[in-house]
Structure formats: structure tokens, C-alpha cells
Amino acid sequence: MLAGPVVVRTKGTTVEITDVRITISRACGGAAGKVLAFAKATIDNDWCMDGLRLIETPDGLIVAMPSRKLHDSCRRCGGKNHLRAAYCNVCGAWIDPQRAIPRSGVAKLHADVVFPVNPAAREAVEHAVVEAYLDAIAEAAHSQEASDVA
């Protein structure tokens, strides 16, 4: 939870990130590139942005925005398949797994569902999520110390 709302002001509009809920990932073993936590941010006490991920990288912590896997359809049966599939999930027909790689050589496998449209909004979301994560870690350490004493 946040100590107070994080306010973003851009072009005469004010938006507040009023709450952030953190779920610490149980799978974070300390290796770089791992998801440390999942977050849910409430905006203006009206909107909820779910699916945020706090990821540890060699350059520090980053907040990944909610995204979804991109899919395409089988030419044979029309079944829905993820872009790296080699066989259709419905009919089993072979599908070229390289079909998603454009000339640039980098496949786009996910699309953002929610994203900030300016740097100030991104920084506010990142700050709020990291602050809430650090508070959750401190609270977990404090409760662990209390249980060790008892």
C-alpha cells in the first residue's frame, strides 16, 4: 500500500495513483530477469490497472505493463495458436514457427494492454510500484522477525 497518493500532472490534467497492492512472487530466487512481484494499481479511486510486473534486471528494477500474448489462426482449420507454436492446437497441422519473425529479425510476441502515453505517467507508476514493493518487503521482514522472537 502507498503512504499517500502519487500525483501525475500533464497538460492540465491531474491523475492520482491512489493505491498499489503488491503480491510478492514466490519464484524469485534472486536471479536477474526474474519477476519479483505482481502489482495492481488503483487510479483516482476509480480505475484498476492489474497485471503489472516488477522485474529485476542487471540495470535495476523495471515495471512491465500488462500485456497479452499475440495469436494467429491456423490456415487449415482456423484454430487460435500462439506465434511460436509449431503445430495447431486444434487440428495438429504443422505451422511454420518462424512466421512471426519480421525482416528486422525480432518477433513481437506480446502486445501491451495498458500503457502510459508520456514519460511522467510511466515514472509515476514505476515509482508507486517500487515504493509499495519496498514497503511490502520491509513489512514481511518485520513480521518474520516478530515470529522468530515469539
**Number of CB atoms found within 10 A of residue 37's CB:** 22
Among 53-57, 62-66, 92-96, 110-114, whose mean pLDDT is lowest?
110-114
89, 81 Cβ separation under 8 angstroms? yes
Average pLDDT for 13-31: 76
For each of the domains in the chain, give its residue range(s) and CATH number, in order of start: 1-66+113-150 (3.30.1120.40), 67-112 (no CATH)
What confidence tier does 115 reach under pLDDT thresholds 50, 70, 90? Answer: confident
Q: What percent of the chain has pLDDT over 70?
A: 83
Task: Return the pLDDT at 4.
Answer: 61
Q: What burial class does residue 78 get, using C-beta atoms within 10 Å of its C-beta: 0-12 exposed, 13-18 middle, 19+ buried?
A: exposed
For residue 142, pLDDT over 80 is answered with yes
Q: What is the mean pLDDT of the chain?
A: 82
Of the two residues 50 and 83, the one the predictor is more confident about is 50
Per DSSP, the three-state class of 121 is helix
